[in-house]
Chains A and B, each alone.
Chain A
Amino acid sequence: MNLLRTIKSCSLRTKFVLPVSAMLILSSLVISGYLTKRQADSIRQELRASGETMIRIIAKNAESGVLFESKYELDELLAILSRFDAVTYGAIINKEGTVLSRFGYWDEKATKVKRFLPHVEPTDGLCQEFFIESSSGEEFIEMNYPILSRKEKLTRENLGLTGGLEGSVTHEKVTEEIGSIKLILSLAKVNESIAEARDTATLLMLVVLVLAIVILTFFVRVVTKPIKMLVEVTDQVSHGDLNQRVDIKQHDEIGHLANTFNKMIESLKQSRDEIEEYNRTLEERIVARTRELEQAQEQLIQSEKMGAIGQLAAGVAHELNNPLGGILGYAQFTLEKMKKSLPDKITSKDIDKYIRYLTDIETQVRRCKSIVQNLLRFSRASHIAEFEEIDVNKVIEDTITFVEHQLHMNQIELRVALDPNLPPIQGNAGQLQQVFTNLIINAMHASAAESEIKIISRYSPPMGEFDGAVELWFIDQGIGIAPENIKKVFEPFFTTKEVGKGTGLGLSVSYGIIKSHGGEIRVDSTVDERTTFTVILPVQKPSQKPDNRNEKLPGELSRSSNV
C-alpha cells in the first residue's frame, strides 16, 4: 500500500523513466544472459566436436601402431595434438592398459569432480566424455575412444574348404578392441573466451542501456515539459490570472491539448469579463433602482400622510368650524349690540357681557390657531425630516387634539397616562404625530362604541450600555389581530379594513418612521380582547443622532413584533 502510494505520488517523469528503465534492464539481462549462455554452450560443443573428430582420426590411424606396439608411429600420430591449444594430455593405451604413447602431462589424482557428459550429436556412439574439475579449480573434458582392429576372419567357407557355390569366397570382417585413446581437453581457453564474450555482451548491454535511458529521458522531457507548462498555466489560471497562455507549438496530442486549453482560457476570460461587466452595471442598476425605491417610499410616506389627512379632514373641518361658528356669531352679536345701544346707555352689565363674548372669541381663536398649527406640523413636507429635541408627551397631546373629536363621535373613551418625567428625545414631531395618529385611528377602527383606548408613556432610565428610552403603549379593547395576520401588520399594503378605508400603508410607514428614530414598534394582540402597540424611542446622547435617511419599508426587515 505504501509502495503504491509512493508510486502514485511520483512525478510523471519518474513514472515513465523508472518502469521503462527497469524493463530495459531486465530484458537486456535476460537477452544477454541467454545469448551468452548460448554462445558458451556452442563454444564448448565446438571444442568437444573438434576433440571428438581428433580422437576419432587418431583412433582410426592407431590400429597398426597398437598392433605392432610401434611407439614411434604412435608418437608421430599424437604429435598432431600439439596443433591444438586446448589439448592438455593425450595417451594411447593398449588392451592391457599400458600407455603406449603419451602427449603432455596429466595427473589422475588431481581430479576432484568427474561427471559423465552425453554425446554431442552427430556421434558414432563410441566416444565417452566426462567433465572434470581439478582440485586447483581448472576445468577439463576427458574423452575416451576405443581403438578397433578390423581383420578379416578366415572361415572354412572363406578358404573354400567346404562345398558351396563355386568361386565365392566371403570375407567376414571382425572388429576387436585393441586399445583406447584418452584425451584431456582444457576448458581454460574456452572459458576465457566465454568470459570475454560475456564481458563484451555486458559492456554492450550497458552502453545500449545508457543510450536507451538517455533517449528515453529526452523523450520523456519532450512529453513532460509541455505538460509541466500546462500545469503551471493551469495553476495561474486557477488563481484568477486569465491572461496566461500555454506556449506550445507542437502538432501532436499535447499541442492540440494546449490549443484547446488556450481556447478554453480565452472563453473563460470572455465569460468572466462579461460577468464583471454585468456585475459592474448591476451595481449601477441597483443604485438606480434603490434610488427609485427610495423615491417611491418617500412618495408612499407622503401619500399615506395625505391619506391620513384625508381621514382627518372631516374632523378637522368640524374642529375648526365649531369655534369659527362661535367666533363669527359672538363677533356679529357684539357688533349688533354695540351698534344698537347708545354710548351713554351702556351699562356695566352690558360691558361684562361684551367682555365675556370677546373672551370667548379670543379663546376660540386660540383654539383655531392651535388646530391650524397642528395641521401644519402634521402636513409639513418632510423629504428630509429634521430631527430636533422634542417632548414626546407634547406630541401625544397634540395628536389627541386632532383625534379626540373623532373618538368622541365613536363614543370611545380615551384615557391617557403620561409620565411627567419623560426626557426629551431627538426626533421629528410631525413624523411621530403621524405614527401616533395612525395607531389611535387604527385602535378606533378596531374598537366598538363605549370601549376604551389607553395611551401610556413611561421613561425607562439608562442601565449599563442602555441609554434609556421612552416607552409608549397604545392599548385598545377592540377586535384584535388574528395570529395569522399579526406578522403581516407592518408589511406594506397589508390591510384588513374594507376597501377605501385604509391604504395598508399606515403601519408600514409607522414602522419605517420608528426605525428611523432608532426605535422599535411591536404589536401584541388577543383576538376580541385587546391589542397593544408598543413604541420604544431611544433617548440619545446629543452626539448620537440616528441616520434618518435610511428609512426602510419593513417588507424584508426582521419583524420585531413580539408575537
Chain B
Amino acid sequence: MNDPNKKSILIVDDEEIIRNFLSEVLGEKYDVSLASDGDEAIEQIKKRRFDLIITDLKMPRVPGEEVVKFAQQQDPTSRVIVISGFSSLYMVSQSINNGACAFLSKPFSIKELMETVTDAVNG
C-alpha cells in the first residue's frame, strides 16, 4: 500500500459512496487513505504527513473546516481540497481563507477532479 513513489492523499467524507469512488479513481495513481469523519482525519494527520487532503465540509462531530485548520496548523504547506454538496460563495471563501487550495462542488466530473488534484499535488 505504502508506495514511496506515489503521493499520499487523505480522503475525508462521511458519505461512503463518495469515499469509495474517490479511492477507486485516485487509487490508481496515488497512495489513498480514508477517513469517514473529521475526528478520524485529524487522528491520521497527527500520525503522518499527506501530500494532499481532500475533505468534505459537512460532517458529524468535527466538520471539514476543522480538518482544514488542523492540517494548516500541523503543516502550513499542506495542500487541502474542499469538496461539498452544498456550496455557497461564503463557504468557498471561508475554505480558502482557512487554507484550502481548491474547492470542488459535488457532483464533479472525473476530469475536474483529476485536474484539481494534479494541480494541487504538483503546485
Contacts and interface: CB of A to CB of B under 8 A. Distances in A.
Interface of A: 314, 317-330, 332-333, 336, 360, 364, 408-411, 449
Given A318-B86, A320-B85, A360-B17, A325 B60 contact: no
Nearest to A353: B24
B60 A318 contact: no
Contact of A411 (B24, B60, B109, B110): B60
A75 B83 CA distance: 178
Q: Which of A319, A329, A330, A332 has the most CB of B within 10 A?
A: A329
Contacts of B102: none
A364 B17 contact: yes
Contact of A327 (B20, B83, B107, B110): B107
A323 B60 contact: no
A325 B58 contact: no
Contact of A333 (B17, B21, B83): B21
A328 B18 CA distance: 10
A319 B21 contact: no
Given A317-B85, A318-B85, A360-B17, A325 B110 contact: no
Interface in B19-44: 20-22, 24-25
A363 B113 CA distance: 23
Nearest to B110: A332
B94 to A, nearest CB: 14
Contact of A321 (B63, B107, B109, B111): B107
B47 interface: no
B21 A408 contact: no
A328 B108 contact: yes
Contact of A409 (B58, B107, B110): B58
A420 B25 CA distance: 43
B57 to A, nearest CB: 9
B45 interface: no
B21 A409 contact: no
Contact of B18 (A319, A322, A409): A322
Contact of B85 (A322, A329, A332, A360): A322
Contacts of B20: 326, 360
Nearest to A357: B24
Contact of A329 (B14, B59, B61, B107): B107
Interface string B90-118: 00000000000000011111110100000
Given A326-B17, A329-B25, A318 B58 contact: yes
Given A314-B58, A411-B61, 6 more contacts: A318-B86, A324-B107, A325-B108, A329-B22, A329-B109, A409-B60
**Closest 10 pairs between A and B when the two form their complex, measured CB to CB:** A321-B85, A326-B17, A325-B106, A318-B85, A325-B107, A324-B107, A321-B106, A328-B107, A329-B21, A317-B86
A319 B110 CA distance: 20
A160 B24 CA distance: 208
A365 to B, nearest CB: 12
Contacts of A332: 109-111
Contacts of A408: 14, 60
22 contacts: A318-B84, A318-B85, A318-B86, A319-B85, A321-B85, A321-B86, A321-B106, A322-B15, A322-B17, A322-B85, A322-B106, A323-B17, A325-B15, A325-B83, A325-B108, A326-B15, A326-B18, A326-B21, A328-B107, A329-B108, A332-B111, A333-B21
Contacts of A336: 110
Contacts of A364: 17
Q: Which of A314, A317, A325, A326 has the most CB of B within 10 A?
A: A325
B15 A328 contact: no
Nearest to A318: B85
Contact of A325 (B63, B85, B111): B85
Given A318-B86, A333-B25, A328 B17 contact: no
Contacts of A320: 85
Given A314-B86, A325-B85, A333 B107 contact: no
Given A321-B107, A322-B15, A330 B21 contact: yes
A317 B18 CA distance: 15
A324 B18 CA distance: 9
Contacts of B14: 408
Contacts of B15: 322, 325-326
Interface string B1-17: 00000000000001101
Nearest to A313: B86
Nearest to A320: B85
A317 B20 CA distance: 20
Contacts of B63: 409
B46 to A, nearest CB: 21
A443 to B, nearest CB: 17
Q: Which of A322, A360, A409 has the most CB of B within 10 A?
A: A322
A319 B22 CA distance: 18
Contacts of B24: 333
Nearest to A408: B60
Nearest to A405: B58
B118 to A, nearest CB: 16
A364 B85 CA distance: 14
B109 to A, nearest CB: 6
A98 to B, nearest CB: 170
A411 B24 CA distance: 29
A408 B107 CA distance: 21
A422 to B, nearest CB: 30
A411 B59 CA distance: 9
A325 B18 contact: yes
A317 B86 CA distance: 6
A159 B17 CA distance: 197
A336 B24 CA distance: 13
B83 to A, nearest CB: 8
B60 A333 contact: no
A324 B108 CA distance: 9
